[in-house]
Amino acid sequence: MPETKKLSLEPYKGTRDFYPKDQFIQNYIFGVWRKVAERFGYLEYNASILEETDLYRAKSGEEIVSEQTYSFTDRGGRDVTIRPEMTPTVARMVAQKRKELSFPLRWFSIPNLFRYERPQRGRLREHWQLNCDIFGVDSIEADVEIISLAYEIMKGFGAKDENFVIKLNNRRALNRLFSEMGLDEEKQKTFRRLLDKKGKIPDFDEQAKAILGKPFNANLEPDKETSELMQKLTKLGITNVVFEPFLVRGFDYYTGTVFEMYDTNPVNPRALFGGGRYDDLVGIFGVEKVSGIGFGWGDVTTRDFLETYNLLPEYQPPVKLYICHLENYLEAANQLASDLRKQGVNVAVDLTSRKVSQQVKTADKENIPFVLVVGEEEAKSGKFKLKNLKLGKEVVVNQENIISSLQIS
């Protein structure tokens, strides 16, 4: 086959390859997410990364759909989108089984999401995101739990209270303020979008004035609902929470509490997680309303955070033992490996015919903690020199004692 063009070795722009050491970190992050979510009784769900484009047109917000989605027409003429967020999907799923499902309902998922953006620190075109949601609880108790859950995940990662701050606001209170200011629905939307960009645009004050006809004065005191939420969180020992009058979140579907969490270290300026209440979203599918509140929590900012505070675990491969062999003893090595695997040990065998020293070097490079060599002597005697590559120590053991020797060292 003629090669007309050199094939790229790189992943698609704004996406990542996860080599085993990167995947180890992903699995660590996903593991903490899953463990804490399940601790609170959340059930895992998932869906396809492709959805019909209409799903996002309804409520995600115009900027996301028209500028940031990966949308195309399939070979059968359907307009499809690679999901930019998970909330519309979970609302669709809840709506689909509205009558069969029992509420309250706690669900989580760890989907990957796509946005067409300029890649930069903390933001890529593809990222993975923990989504946790409660459906069917109208009261503030759900708001308290969902933020407690997020807080406990931070604790699960080993973060200290002073490392992060949770910012709160309330869309209902914002809307009341906007109404008092005499803004119609369209102007409210436009202004909300401007507020969402505050801090990123230098001429916010002028743009605000252009929309409002006068300078913008936010309510600097929290509304009643936000105050109550803060009190309840304080009672649970969650005190790194502040009222943020300019916080809106980008999505159109929020109806009440909105929140975001930030690293207190300015090296990571992007939110780690964010979410809010969306009591009208399930209803747009033409079924009876169900209230909802939830958050999305990204892997990219999380990894940056964990690196910043040195909270990542040291890399360890799942394989415990690497078995090397002399010529003609590969079969014996495979047999030993097979016996050990049946007893639950993760074992790899070097399948090459290289020198033993080179085989051992591979184990060392792969961070595998133990190595042993099978040759004539070992095959005859059933005794093996088990070497701990980290400590450089060697013990002679019978086959029956290999497993206990792997565990104690």
Of 277-306, binders to a copy of itself (CB under 8 A) are: 284-286
Give the number of C-alpha atoms closer than 13 A to the C-alpha of residue 83, restricted to the C-beta side: 21
If the CB atoms of residues 116 and 309 are measured against a copy of itself, the closer one turns out to be: 116
Minimum CB separation from a copy of itself for residue 75, in Å? Answer: 5
Per CB under 8 A, contacts with a copy of itself among 128-157 are 134, 136-137, 139, 141-142, 145, 152
- Say which residues have a Cβ less than 8 Å from residue 408's Cβ, sequence separation at least 6: none
Q: Taking contact as CB under 8 A, which single stretch among the options 238-246, 299-307, 348-356, 371-379 is the one that binds a copy of itself?
A: 348-356
Q: What angle do CA 23, 25, 26 make, to 5 degrees?
A: 60
If the CB atoms of residues 21 and 383 are measured against a copy of itself, the closer one turns out to be: 21
Per CB under 8 A, contacts with a copy of itself among 77-116 are 78, 80, 82, 92-93, 95-97, 102-104, 106-107, 112, 114, 116
| 235 φ/ψ angles, rounded to the nearest 5 degrees | -60, -30
Q: Which amino acid is at 139?
A: S
Q: Please give the order of strands across the beta sheet that includes 383-388.
A: 347-349, 321-325, 370-374, 383-388, 393-398
Residue count, binding to a copy of itself (CB under 8 A):
97
Minimum CB separation from a copy of itself for residue 199, in Å? Answer: 25
Minimum CB separation from a copy of itself for residue 20, in Å? Answer: 4
Please state at what angle helix 140-156 crosses helix 20-39, rounded to 10 degrees. 140
If the CB atoms of residues 9 and 220 are measured against a copy of itself, the closer one turns out to be: 9
Per CB under 8 A, contacts with a copy of itself among 165-224 are none
If the CB atoms of residues 51 and 196 are measured against a copy of itself, the closer one turns out to be: 51
Closest by CA to 386, choosing from 328, 343, 352, 347, is 347
Which of 159, 272, 324, 349 touches a copy of itself by CB under 8 A? 349
Question: Per DSSP, what are the bridge partners of residue 386?
Answer: 395
Per rule CB under 8 A, is residue 348 in the interface with a copy of itself? yes
Closest by CA to 147, choosing from 247, 308, 274, 332, is 274
DSSP 76: T
Minimum CB separation from a copy of itself for residue 267, in Å? Answer: 26
Q: Taking contact as CB under 8 A, which single stretch among the options 16-24, 200-208, 222-230, 387-395 is the one that binds a copy of itself?
A: 16-24
Which of 179, 234, 328, 338 touches a copy of itself by CB under 8 A? 338
Give the number of C-alpha atoms closer than 13 A to the C-alpha of residue 53, restricted to the C-beta side: 16
Closest by CA to 240, choosing from 163, 149, 145, 309, is 163
Question: Per DSSP, what are the bridge partners of residue 52?
Answer: 80
Per rule CB under 8 A, is residue 262 in the interface with a copy of itself? no
The radius of gyration of the chain's CA atoms, rounded to the nearest angstrom, is: 27
Q: What angle do CA 313, 315, 321 make, to 5 degrees?
A: 130
Minimum CB separation from a copy of itself for residue 393, in Å? Answer: 22
User: x/- binding map, residues 29-58, to a copy of itself, per CB under 8 A?
Assistant: ---------xxxx-xxxxxxxxxx-xx--x
If the CB atoms of residues 140 and 311 are measured against a copy of itself, the closer one turns out to be: 140
| 264 φ/ψ angles, rounded to the nearest 5 degrees | -80, -10
If the CB atoms of residues 136 and 375 are measured against a copy of itself, the closer one turns out to be: 136
Structural contact between residues 370 and 322, judged by C-beta atoms closer than 8 angstroms: yes
Per rule CB under 8 A, is residue 332 in the interface with a copy of itself? no
If the CB atoms of residues 338 and 399 are measured against a copy of itself, the closer one turns out to be: 338
Q: Taking contact as CB under 8 A, which single stretch among the options 22-30, 158-166, 262-270, 392-400 is the one that binds a copy of itself?
A: 22-30
Q: Taking contact as CB under 8 A, which single stretch among the options 172-180, 296-304, 361-369, 374-382 is the one that binds a copy of itself?
A: 361-369
Q: Taking contact as CB under 8 A, which single stretch among the options 172-180, 241-249, 338-346, 393-401 is the one that binds a copy of itself?
A: 338-346
- How far is 134 from 295, CA to CA, in rounded Å? 10
Minimum CB separation from a copy of itself for residue 362, in Å? Answer: 5
Per CB under 8 A, contacts with a copy of itself among 302-331 are 317-319, 322, 330
The CA-atom distances, in angstroms, between 230 and each of 218, 234, 256, 354 are 19, 6, 14, 65
- How far is 221 from 245, CA to CA, in rounded Å? 8
Minimum CB separation from a copy of itself for residue 118, in Å? Answer: 10
Structural contact between residues 138 and 291, judged by C-beta atoms closer than 8 angstroms: yes
- How far is 90 from 84, CA to CA, in rounded Å? 13
